[in-house]
Each structure stands twice: as C-alpha cells, then as structure tokens.
Structure 1
Amino acid sequence: MKTRVIILLAVFLSAFALLPDRIIKGTVTDGSNLPVAGVNVTIQGSGASTVTDHGGRFSIQVSKLARALMFKKIGYKTLTMPLTSDSVLNVILTHTLRTEEIADQELVHPSQPGRVEKSLVFNRVAAAPSTFSGTVTQIPVATESYKPINENGFLSVGQQPVTTFSVDVDRAAYSNVRRFLNNGQMPPEDAVRIEEMINYFDYDYPQPTGEHPLAITAETTDSPWNPGLKLVHIGLQAKTVSTENLPASNLVFLIDVSGSMSDPNKLPLLKQAFKLLVDQLRAEDKISIVTYAGSAGLVLPPTAGSEKKVIKDALDKLEAGGSTAGGEGIELAYDLARKYFLPKGNNRVILATDGDFNVGISNESELQKLIEEKRRAGIFLSIMGFGMGNYKDSHVETLADKGNGNYAYIDNIQEARKEFVQEFGGTLFTVAKDVKIQIEFNPGYVQAYRLIGYENRALRNDEFNDDKKDAGDMGSGHIVTAIYEIVPKDVHSSYTGATHPLKYQQNNANTTGNGDEMMTVKVRYKKPESEKSILFDLPVKATSVAFEKCSENLRFASAVAEFGLLLRGSEYKGKATYADVIQRARGAFGKDNEGYRSEFVQLVKTAQSLDGSQETAHK
C-alpha cells in the first residue's frame, strides 16, 4: 500500500512538473490611482524579483510552484497577493509612513546647508506619503562633484534690456535628482539644474513648417509662486526626421571598464543600455567599441548594425578592473571615428563613464582642447553617466558641452530605454548646431526679468553674432523650453533694487511701430554641415492669459520649474510649495503614455516627505 501511494505521488508530481512557467504582468498604483515606480515585486519563497517601471508596470516569470507575489516599497504597506490562474495582476498599495517605521529602517540622512536635519524632518511630516524606492542606500555626496551654480537674479531692463544664452537639451540633472530622491536623500543644490529638469519632459510644440529646422512658440501668464509677476514660456521645437530618412551613423562606443565601474548600476547597467541602442541600428550604420582601464583597447572593429549578435557578444565580454585612462581612450575612439568618417553621415563618439578620469589626459583643459578640435572636424561627443558615490557630474557635463553632444544620466533600464529607444533620433542625429537664443525686452512693458536656470549656458550678448562661439545642438525632434519670470512695468517687487536711469540711452517709451510688443525672441543656428549661422526671430505681443487657460505645456513646465526652485532653496521661490507643484502637475498630465509626468508627482511627494523645512515655513 505504501509503495502504491509513493508511485501515485510521483506520477502526480511528474505531471505537475510538466506545467510550464508563466509570465505575470500588472500595474501597481496608489490610493489616488497614480502609478508607483520602484516597487520590489518578489516571488514569495524565492529570490526572483523585479521592479516596477515609471508607469508602475511590472512583468515577472513565475514557476509552477509559485503561490504568491510580495509587493514592497518603503513608505507603503507591504502586500502579499496570492496567485490565481489569471496572468494579469493589478495591485493598489496603501501609504504608511510612521515615525517608528522609519526608525526600524535605520535611515540616516546627512545634513545639508540650509536644510533641516532629515532625522528631525520625519517626525514633522509623519503623515505625508513617501516614495522611496526599494532598499535605501545612502549616497556619499562628498565624493561626488557638481559645478557650482550661481542662480540668475533679476536684471533691470533699463540697464540690460538684452539677454543671451545657449540652448540646453541635456536631461541628466532630472534623472540624477530622481536617483537621490529614490534613495531617500535630498539632492545637493548644485545637482539641481532647473533647465535640464524642465527639458526632461516632452511638450506638444508645433513642428517647423518653413525654411528653418526650428520653430518658436511663446506664451505669457501670471507667476503662480510670485503674485504680481509674470511668466514667459518659450518653446523651441526641432524638426523630427523619420528613422528611415536619418543619415548613416559611424558610432564609436567608448566604455569605461575601470575598477570603479564594477557596481551593478554601472557596467552591468551600461551593457543593458547599449544593447537597447544596438537594437535600433540599421545595416548601413557601423559601430566600434573601445574600452579604457589602465590602457585603451579596441574591443570591436567597425561592425555593421545588422550584426547585432556580434556587437552584443562583445558587450557581454566586458569586465571592470584597473585604473582609468580616459584620455587615451578618447584619442583612440576619435582616431577610429576619423578613419571611418562618413562625409554626409552622423559621426559620433558615445562615452559611457562615471566621470572618474584619473590616469592619462586627466587635465580637464587638455581634454577640452582635444574634444573641441575633433568637434570642428565633424565628430561629435555624447556622454552617458552611470553610477553613484564617485560620480563626477561637473566633469562629464563640461566635456559633453565642448563636444557638440548631449549628456544624459542613466539611473535605470527605463531611462536607458527613454534615451536610446524612444528618443533615438534626438540623441544621435543633429539637425541644428550652435543654437543660441537672444531676447530683447521692451521697457515699456517690462521692468526686470530673470531666466530660470541656464546658469551654465549664459553667453555675452556679443557672442550671439559670433559664429566662432560654440553653443548647444538640437537633434531630430528635440525640444528646448525656457521660462523667464518678469516684473511688469510699474509693479513693485522686493526682487528689484533701485537703479538710476542711464543718462545717454533712449527714453524708455515704446518705439513707434512696435508698441504692442513685449519682447522679441531671436534664434541663431547653423546647419550641421555649415559654419555660417542663420538668424530668425519671433516678436511676442504684450498679452497675458489666465493661468488656468494656458496650455498644458506651460502649466506642467512651470510645475517642474517650481519644484526646482524648492529643491534649490531658491531665494526667488516666493510662495512656492510642494502641494502647489503636485496640484498643477496633476492638472497638466496630458497623454503621459510612458508615465513620466505621473512619476514626477511621486518624486515631488518624496521630496515633500524629506524636506520639512519648506512646508512648515508656510503653515
């Protein structure tokens, strides 16, 4: 009898073992029906896990023996969901942030100048929701470097009626800020470049229809955080070129494989990210791979984009170890790009690193000279930053600026997908280079003005007409957004000091023929193959629209700008609050197909939980 039972049990288990593994998909949202990113989804009793993306989506392969999934994220109640025969599992997590729960996590938050000690903040905002992501790992900020930002102040139109800056299509600051917040830390103030946060998002600007590859839009409304002041929202849209019409590419991957790149969020993530880019390549595209660590080496000679397996196999073989010879690697990468130069193609070096150049041409000025020289020869440089702890943001930002390329920070595979799949053309294919913007304000309407962000992109007014002066480039479909805060004429503001009128300048009255113009936006750009700039402009009328009637573009961009002011502790933040940012952002989600705007709201909630100083100041 015993033998028969054993046989029956064996037959049963054998039959059960034949059941195939399956994929469970779903979405995690909170009580407000907003997606929750960074939720750890784990098979109960197993080490297998995944993490929800920006849209709260997850997909996980479960075995036939799996009985339940666990959903865990700091700031939410852990939830265990039993598995049924359904392959779709949608989950709602409940916020919970109690002081004793935070204590159990043993979180230690470093003090920052001008900020309340974070361990005290948790006691003050215990009722607020949190959106920390997974296991909290404190980032040693002291070992990271950021270029100092001296925030733009208000300038008198009577003294300086003209302002000039280079466009900035970089978005690294936003994903870097997200990294800090998702690790339970407020970002360093100098890591918050507001223009890059604004430009991280897509906006619905009209495509160019005339002779220029760029189109300008402008809109004016009331400032939400400084009553009595106005916001001027300027949008610049680059022409979108379909993938099949893009020129052939000569790409060189320059990959840092030094010892500092061994962490999971560095070289392993880098490999995954570049594989996504490889999937976008066509047969006419060619790619080479150069590594540097102690000495530079050629890993893959120029290979057709159709040889995807060959390229991916080369990436898989990369291992981290050794010191960093960034300069030597750059020289070898540029030599390859020059040797296989495509006269009418896209010639670009893509450098992936944590920015820790410590051997070889480590002098920043020497590297800049090398990159500028190659830029003039038609070889551009894009930089993808990875990692935390020893991340050198200041270094890689400067190099990307000098190389006529873009700079992005890859903090997860979703960001890699955004950079290399969704925005493939804009990342790699330039449609207008050395793009500069100059604005002249009419003193008949504007008393003073302030450009929000772009501190590292300021130009002298005479450099606008200087074709030798380098500026930012715009790729296929790229969008640039700039926001000015202005003090209208005859409005008193504490931000504007008393200035004496200039003795020898024209009277401040409106000039005949343009009395209804508040300002003129001028744009200079060069075609990718030319060194001679082209000028066009857009006069902006002195009309203001009520904020609630403005476009979603302006409403959402202003919410991001206000968030940046709060993160920086700006002296110009006025009555800004996290609650106002959340409310206005929610009212301007638009389509949000990828969930980036809803993820933004979650990040604001996280900052609200971490930064109690601002909220308590307005109570």
Structure 2
Amino acid sequence: MKKLAGILICSLMLASVAMLNAQVRTITGKVTDASTGEELAGVNVLLKGTSIGVNTNLDGQYSININKADAILVFSFIGMEKQEIAVKNQSVIDVQMHSDVNQLSEVVVTSRGKSLKSMFTKKSYVVHEDAEMEVAFNHHYPQGTITNQNTEDYEGLPENAFMEATKNPLSTFSIDVDAASYANIRRFINYGQTPPPDAVRIEEMINYFNYEYNQPKGNDPFSINTEVSQAPWNDKHQLVHIGLQGKIIPTDKLPASNLVFLIDVSGSMSGQNKLPLLKSGLKLLVDQMRAEDKVSIVVYAGAAGCVLPATSGNEKDKIMGALQKLQAGGSTAGGAGINLAYQIAKDNFVKDGNNRIILSTDGDFNVGASSNEAMENLIEAKRKEGVFLTVLGFGMGNYKDSKMEILADKGNGNYAYIDNMQEAKKVLVNEFGGTLFTIAKDVKIQVEFNPANVTAYRLIGYENRKLQAEDFNNDKKDAGELGSGHSVTALYEIIPKGVDSYFKPIDDLKYQQEKPKSSEKQYGDELLTVKFRYKAPDGDTSKLIVKTVDNESVSIARTSDNFRWSAAVATYGMILKGSDYLEKGDYPMVLDLAKSARGKDENGYRIEFINMVESGRLMSKN
C-alpha cells in the first residue's frame, strides 16, 4: 500500500512538473546584423514544429509566447544564415545574424525574355522560388541547372538620345514620383546580382531621395528650383538640374480617406518577403489612420472576396486582426479583385476626400476574366470618377514590374517596391502624405531650349514618360500626380553652342534657314525656359507656371548638395545601364560626389546609397 502511495505521489509530482513546463512563457529579444550591429526588421521568429511565429519590429525587437519545455526558436531572414536556438530557461534571447555566403555559381535573371548572366560573380547561383525563401541560398545545383527559371518582367526602352535644339527645341514629359526602380535595384545588389539594365529607371533612382528645395509660396502648390553646372561624366557638356517641390500639408489638415486594401493572397505570394512582409507593412499604414478615415480589405486568389467591410481608422485592432488572418494559396484572379475593390470604393465614396485603392502584389496576374487591356481601361475610367490606384510591389522571381507600373500610371497613383520593413516605413510612414494624398494631377513639364546657347540636349531618364509637344496644352492628356510634400527632379545633359562633341546629333543643314540674328540677341542670355502645367486634384482645367533659366554655369564644387547628389545617382544609374553616353563616369566618381553631398540625411537613405555603391564597386573587381 505504501509502495502504491509512493508511486501515486511521484506520478502527481511528474504531472505537476509537466503542467508547469507547459505553462505559457514570453520570450523577448533583439535581432541585429553581426557585421554592422544594425537592428534587423522583419526577421521571422518561429517556434520550431509549430505555426506559431512573429516578425521583428522596426527596432529589431520581438516577443513570442511558447508553451513547450523543449522549445526551439528558428530565426530566418533572406540573405542571412538561419539560426536555431534552444530556449531552455532563458526569457531574453538576443540574436546576431550573419550573411549567408554559401551562394552558388551563376545568377540567372530575365530581361525581355532573354537570360542575362552576372558580369561580376565568380560563384553562381540560381534564382528560383522556394516555399519558405525565394532565393536558393542554401541549395547547390549542378553547373548550368536552372530550377523554376526567373520570370521577372521589365519593359525595355532605349535611352533618350541627344536632340538638336534648332530642329527640336521642345522637350515634353510627364512627371514621375515613383521610386520602385531604386528599391528593386537595391534588392538585386544586396543579393550579389547585377540588376537587368531594363530594371534601371534613372529618374526613379533620383526621385527616391528627398531634396532641400524651398517650400512653395503663395497659392501655387509648387516651387521651381534650377541649377546649371558641368556634367561630371563629360566636362565638355553641361548638366541642368530642375527641381519641383510640392507643398507639405500637415496630416491633421489632410482630407478624409476611403482606402481599400486590395491584397494578392495567391500561392505566388507565400514567400516570407511577400505576404508576411506585406501584412507588416500595411499595419504601419493602419497606425497612421484617423477616426474619419475608412479602411476596407479585399483579397483575391482563385476568387475575390471582401474580408473587412469599411471600418473606421480608430478601430485599429479590428483592421490589424483581419490582416493577420490572411494566408496565401491558389491562383491569381486579379481582374475579379480589382472590380470588387472599385465597387467597394464607390459604395464608400467620400466627396472631396482621398478615395484610393492600394493594390499589394507581385504582379503575377495569371488567371482572370479581364485581359490586361480591359483592366487598364477599367482603372482609367475609375480614375476619372475620382478613385485613384496606388501599387505596392513585393517579392522576386516572378515579379512583374512593367505591369504594375502601367497600372499605377493609369490609376493616378504611386508605384513603390517594398523589399524590407525599412522601405515599408519610408513609403507608408515617412512619406505618408506624398504616397496617398494628391495635391496636383496631370503635372507636365515642357522645356524649350535656346538654340543660341544650346546645340543639343537629352533628358536623362523618363523614357516611358515622354509626351508629344502638343500634349502639353491638351488638358485631356493624362500625366503624373504629385503628393503632399513630394519633390520631382529632372536632369538634362546639354551640348553647349560651339562645343565639338562626339554626340552631336547631326551636321548643320545646307538648306535650313538660320534663326534671325535679332532673335538671338534678344534671348541670347537665356539657356532655356521651363513650363509646368498642373490641375487641382478635382479640377479639369490646368494652370501654368513659367521659369526662365539664364546661361550661367558654375563649377560642380560650387553647386548645392541637391545638384551633386542627383548627379551622383544619375552617374550610378548610367553605369548600371551600361549607358552609351557615359564618357568617364566610374564608381570613384559616384562615391566622391555622393559623399560630398550627403547633407543631413536624417533617415539614413543617402548613406545606404553610398554603402550600396561601395558594394557594387567591390563586386565589379571580382
């Protein structure tokens, strides 16, 4: 009997220990980069053997509840070595993650249907899709093997050529405040790859950064800033810097928002840098919502559905709870999703407010009743009814850049690529007003060059934004939009009059009438005239602003940080594109210009660029 009682007591004690061990504990900690000490946001922290997991926040911190005595935490992040750590009796676990250098021997990317090999990697690896991590950092393949070949899609456009000022004095284009190309290029370089030349849109690289332009005065929503100096890559040529600054509207003065989150939850969105990152990014946006704002959520995969009806911005827990439940799976009926999102936006339309759909996707619309053309026509029609479209791109491997850029353009919205939580914060928090609130639409720029001082010119970038000269005064012609606080920067490379340049477009014509001498004398001190047209967000008639730029050039050393920084970024973009117009630009030139123009750099975007160029320089030597 005593023996039986002892066994019972032991059994109870063991059961108590088991129950104690099964009690929920909270583990916290911080995840940092072992090489730089910087906090890593968006790291996946998973309780091994379960579906319980969290992501680190913007400060690299996490908090996870566990109920297993033998719990093991798995830390994973794209480009970093995965770590597994036994919890044991610890309550705080800080982790330093190391870069994964176990990369294979060949990079395969796709541009216009053709494979392009990296020009600088000694080793090679294959870009493919994996259920947990989309770049194959942890698997070796035989030489030449391609698994799930990269199907990323970029529109190929030739660089703008020099135009003769006598025969073509007008340059007309739509503004572009998108910055997706820069973030996408950064993703390639961070993974040790050369970006496809077609992925490089220099104007988006330049406009990724903030510039110290004067705020507008008076009733106009713009200020215009210009500078002229030498082109750093060709000292015989001039570089003209044109900066347009939008008026900053305080958040509490912004109109009420009717936002519809249109989220791709198809199987192609299962990667850690797709739907999980998307949900974390949109939560940052929800944090900015006010009581007068409304948020709806529409998802699409094999079919489309509304998972959250219009909900006040002050019900943040409800909105975030709906986001957290989303899972990826199925095919991609993008057309059905867009139709439903527009219907919900219409049902909750806010007069004089910000009515906008935020499409978050990798762009892989492969199933649906709507053709691309029908989808674009729908977006254009809804734009005219006052519902705009912003596009947020995610992921890699099957990323459809060209399709998403077109949709955003048709929808009077921005297009951003989000590759990490820092970029999500930039787009959805730091630039909240500019991303979502339009202060001017159909903004066009037309520059007229004075043939007395300009032999030829070329616009750097904006290849897919060019307009016909007659489009400038046509108020029915769609153009770009400018958000609160946004700036737009454009650069022109000029061959001055009398300069013997290799790039002079054509010889002087034998039968062409010369410009009257009196006219040359009258305007001889002018280099060019800049004209802007824009409409109010709800307007149909454009307004005109005109600024004349004198033929006065200063040395690069005397230019502003704005000028030198934009010149550095443009030079780097030309290097990445393999530009035919790059006479002597190289990595040291880019770094010298950038370091001299870093300025305040409160958010660290410029030092990140400098570090990225340094990485590219080192890789180019291998």
For the superposition of Structure 1 and Structure 2, which TM-score range results when normalised by the shorter chain?
A: 0.7 to 0.9
What is aligned with 2:156? 148
Q: Distance in 1 between matches of 2:498 and 2:45?
A: 61
What is aligned with 2:104? 106
What is aligned with 1:337? 345
Structure 1 residues 154 and 428: alpha-carbon distance in aligned structure 2, compared to 1, 3 A threshold: same
Among residues 534, 557, 563, which one is paired with 2:572 in the alignment? 563
- The answer (yes or no) to whether the contact 1:35–1:599 under 8 Å persists in 2 is no
1:601 paired with 2:601, answer no
- What amino acid is the match of 1:341? F
Map 1:484-503 → 2, pairs under 5 A: 484-501=492-509, 503=512
- The answer (yes or no) to whether the contact 2:170–2:446 under 8 Å persists in 1 is yes
Map 1:383-462 → 2, pairs under 5 A: 383-462=391-470
Q: Distance in 2 between matches of 1:291 and 1:575?
A: 50
Among residues 554, 561, 581, which one is paired with 1:572 in the alignment? 581
Task: State the Cα deviation string for residues 94-142 of structure 1 (Å, max 9, x = none).
Answer: x9xxxxx97x64342348999996486549xxxxxxxxxx984899774
What is aligned with 1:547? 556
- The answer (yes or no) to whether the contact 1:233–1:484 under 8 Å persists in 2 is yes
- What amino acid is the match of 2:587? Y
Q: Distance in 2 between matches of 1:303 and 1:61?
A: 28
1:182 paired with 2:190, answer yes
Q: Which secondary structure does the structure 1 equivalent of 2:451 belong to?
A: coil
What is aligned with 1:531? 540
- The answer (yes or no) to whether the contact 1:255–1:290 under 8 Å persists in 2 is yes
Gaps of 5+ in 2: 1-19, 47-52, 66-74, 82-91, 124-134, 139-145
Q: Which secondary structure does the structure 1 equivalent of 2:392 belong to?
A: strand
Q: Distance in 1 between matches of 2:411 and 2:109?
A: 36
What is aligned with 1:98? none
Residue 602 of structure 1 and its aligned partner are, at CA, apart by 1.6
Q: Distance in 2 between matches of 1:500 and 1:119?
A: 40
Structure 1 residues 146 and 361: alpha-carbon distance in aligned structure 2, compared to 1, 3 A threshold: farther
- TM-score (norm: length of structure 2): 0.82
Gaps of 5+ in 1: 1-13, 64-69, 77-86, 96-100, 124-133, 614-619
Structure 1 residues 22 and 187: alpha-carbon distance in aligned structure 2, compared to 1, 3 A threshold: same
- What amino acid is the match of 2:389? L
Residue 60 of structure 1 and its aligned partner are, at CA, apart by 6.4
Q: Distance in 2 between matches of 1:236 and 1:229?
A: 23
Structure 1 residues 75 and 270: alpha-carbon distance in aligned structure 2, compared to 1, 3 A threshold: closer
What is aligned with 2:388? 380
Q: Distance in 2 between matches of 1:39 and 1:268?
A: 9
RMSD over aligned CA atoms reads 4.0
Map 1:9-88 → 2, pairs under 5 A: 58-59=60-61
Q: Distance in 2 between matches of 1:441 and 1:489?
A: 11
Structure 1 residues 38 and 450: alpha-carbon distance in aligned structure 2, compared to 1, 3 A threshold: farther
Among residues 219, 228, 243, which one is paired with 1:235 in the alignment? 243
- What amino acid is the match of 2:155? K
- What amino acid is the match of 2:446? Q
Residue 606 of structure 1 and its aligned partner are, at CA, apart by 2.3
Q: Which secondary structure does the structure 1 equivalent of 2:309 belong to?
A: strand
Q: Distance in 1 between matches of 2:169 and 2:463?
A: 18
What is aligned with 1:257? 265
1:515 paired with 2:518, answer no
What is aligned with 1:5? none
Residue 581 of structure 1 and its aligned partner are, at CA, apart by 0.8
- The answer (yes or no) to whether the contact 1:39–1:73 under 8 Å persists in 2 is no
Percent of aligned pairs with the same amino acid: 50
What is aligned with 1:167? 175
Q: Which has the higher contact order (CA 8 A, sep 6+)?
A: 1
Residue 504 of structure 1 and its aligned partner are, at CA, apart by 4.8
Residue 497 of structure 1 and its aligned partner are, at CA, apart by 3.2
- The answer (yes or no) to whether the contact 1:375–1:403 under 8 Å persists in 2 is yes
- The answer (yes or no) to whether the contact 1:26–1:59 under 8 Å persists in 2 is no
Q: Distance in 2 between matches of 1:251 and 1:307?
A: 14
- The answer (yes or no) to whether the contact 1:526–1:532 under 8 Å persists in 2 is yes
Q: Distance in 2 between matches of 1:542 and 1:485?
A: 14
Residue 404 of structure 1 and its aligned partner are, at CA, apart by 0.4
Structure 1 residues 294 and 352: alpha-carbon distance in aligned structure 2, compared to 1, 3 A threshold: same
| Alignment length (residue pairs) | 569
Answer with 192-201 or 507-516: which moved more: 507-516
- The answer (yes or no) to whether the contact 2:109–2:152 under 8 Å persists in 1 is no
- What amino acid is the match of 2:615? T
Residue 498 of structure 1 and its aligned partner are, at CA, apart by 2.8
Q: Distance in 2 between matches of 1:39 and 1:387?
A: 14
Q: Distance in 2 between matches of 1:402 and 1:538?
A: 29
- What amino acid is the match of 1:109? V
- The answer (yes or no) to whether the contact 2:303–2:336 under 8 Å persists in 1 is yes
Structure 1 residues 367 and 42: alpha-carbon distance in aligned structure 2, compared to 1, 3 A threshold: closer
- The answer (yes or no) to whether the contact 1:444–1:508 under 8 Å persists in 2 is no
Map 1:118-133 → 2, pairs under 5 A: 118=118, 121-122=121-122
Q: Distance in 1 between matches of 2:587 and 2:312?
A: 49
- What amino acid is the match of 1:106? L
Structure 1 residues 318 and 467: alpha-carbon distance in aligned structure 2, compared to 1, 3 A threshold: same
What is aligned with 1:207? 215
Q: Which secondary structure does the structure 2 equivalent of 1:227 belong to?
A: strand
What is aligned with 2:50? none
Q: Distance in 2 between matches of 1:494 and 1:531?
A: 45
- What amino acid is the match of 2:537? P
Structure 1 residues 269 and 62: alpha-carbon distance in aligned structure 2, compared to 1, 3 A threshold: closer
Q: Which secondary structure does the structure 1 equivalent of 2:455 belong to?
A: strand
- The answer (yes or no) to whether the contact 1:327–1:362 under 8 Å persists in 2 is yes
- TM-score (norm: length of structure 1): 0.82
Q: Which secondary structure does the structure 2 equivalent of 1:557 belong to?
A: helix
